[in-house]
Amino acid sequence: MDDFLVPEISEPVGIVLGTEDSTPLAFWVGVAEGSYLQLDDSVLVETGVPGRGAVRISGLVQEVRARHEGLTLDSDVFLVDKGVLPAGIAQAARVVATRFEPEIFVPPLPGQPALRARGKDRDEALYLDQIDRRLAGGLSRDGEPFFLDLDFLDGSRGAHINISGISGVATKTTYALFLLYSLFHSEVLGSYRTNTKAIVFNVKGEDLLHLDKPNARLIDDEKSRAEYDRLGLPAGPFESVGLWAPVAAGAGDHAIPDTGGRKKGVRAYYWTIKEFIREGYLKFLFAEAENERSQIADLVARVESFLDREAQDDPEHDATVTIDGQLIGDFDQLVEFIIAELDNEGSPWRGRMAEGTIAAFQRRLESARFRVGHLIWGRRAENPGAHRIDWNAAQVTVIDIHNLHDRAKRFVTGVVIKKLFEHKERQGQRLPLTFLVLDELNRYAPRDGWSPIKEVLLDVAERGRSLGMILIGAEQTASEVERRVIANSAFRVVGRLDTAEAERSEYGFMPAVTRARAAILKPGSMILQQPHVPIPMQIRFPFPSWATREEEVPSEDNEEKAFERFITD
Q: The domain that contains 178 carries what CATH number? A: 3.40.50.300
Same domain, 419 and 519: yes
Domain stop point among 345, 377, 409:
377
Give the CB-side neighbour count of residue 265, counting CA atoms within 13 A.
Answer: 15
| 241-246/11-16 β-pairing | unpaired
Distance CA(202)–CA(364), nearest Å, equals 25
Identify whether 503 is part of a domain.
yes
Is the preceding peptide bond at 536 cis, omega within 30 degrees of 0?
no
Same domain, 150 and 106: no
Q: Count structural domains, the chain.
A: 3
Contacts of 488 (CB under 8 A, 6+ apart): 159, 160, 461, 462, 465
Is the preceding peptide bond at 246 cis, omega within 30 degrees of 0?
no
Beta bridge partners of 140: 539
Same domain, 415 and 547: yes
Same domain, 198 and 275: no
Single pTM value for the model: 0.90
Residue 397: closest CA among 121, 109, 201:
201
Identify whether 436 is part of a domain.
yes
Residue 262 backbone phi and psi in degrees, to 5? -120, 130
Domain stop point among 130, 156, 172:
130
Residue 31: closest CA among 64, 72, 58:
64
Provide the residue range defining the domain that includes 315. 271-377
Same domain, 284 and 371: yes
419 and 411 in contact (C-beta within 8 Å)? no
Same domain, 252 and 139: yes
Same domain, 325 and 424: no
Same domain, 403 and 540: yes
Identify whether 502 is part of a domain.
yes
Identify whether 331 is part of a domain.
yes
Distance CA(31)–CA(37), nearest Å, equals 7
* Burial class for 156, CB neighbours closer than 10 Å (0-12, 13-18, 19+): middle
Beta strands in 188-302 (DSSP E): 197-202, 241-246, 266-269, 271-272
Identify whether 497 is part of a domain.
yes
Domain stop point among 342, 377, 412:
377
Same domain, 109 and 157: no
Identify whether 385 is part of a domain.
no
Identify whether 3 is part of a domain.
no
Query: What's the order of all strands across the beta sheet hosting 326-328?
Result: 311-313, 321-323, 326-328
28 and 109 in contact (C-beta within 8 Å)? no
Same domain, 151 and 213: yes
Same domain, 543 and 473: yes
Identify whether 70 is part of a domain.
yes
What does each of the 569 residues of the chain score in pLDDT, given as a tens digit? Answer: 344 455 679 999 999 999 999 999 999 999 999 999 999 999 999 999 999 999 999 999 999 999 988 888 888 889 888 888 888 899 999 999 999 999 999 999 999 999 999 999 999 999 999 999 999 999 998 888 999 999 999 999 999 999 999 987 768 999 999 999 999 999 999 999 999 999 999 998 888 999 999 999 888 788 999 999 999 999 999 999 999 999 998 767 788 999 887 888 999 999 999 999 999 999 999 987 665 567 888 899 999 999 999 999 988 888 999 998 899 999 999 999 999 999 998 889 988 888 999 999 999 999 999 999 999 999 888 888 889 999 999 999 999 999 999 999 999 999 999 999 999 999 888 999 999 999 999 999 999 888 899 999 999 999 999 999 999 999 999 999 999 999 999 999 999 999 999 999 999 999 888 999 999 999 999 999 999 888 899 999 999 999 988 888 887 655 555 555 554 45
Same domain, 424 and 556: yes
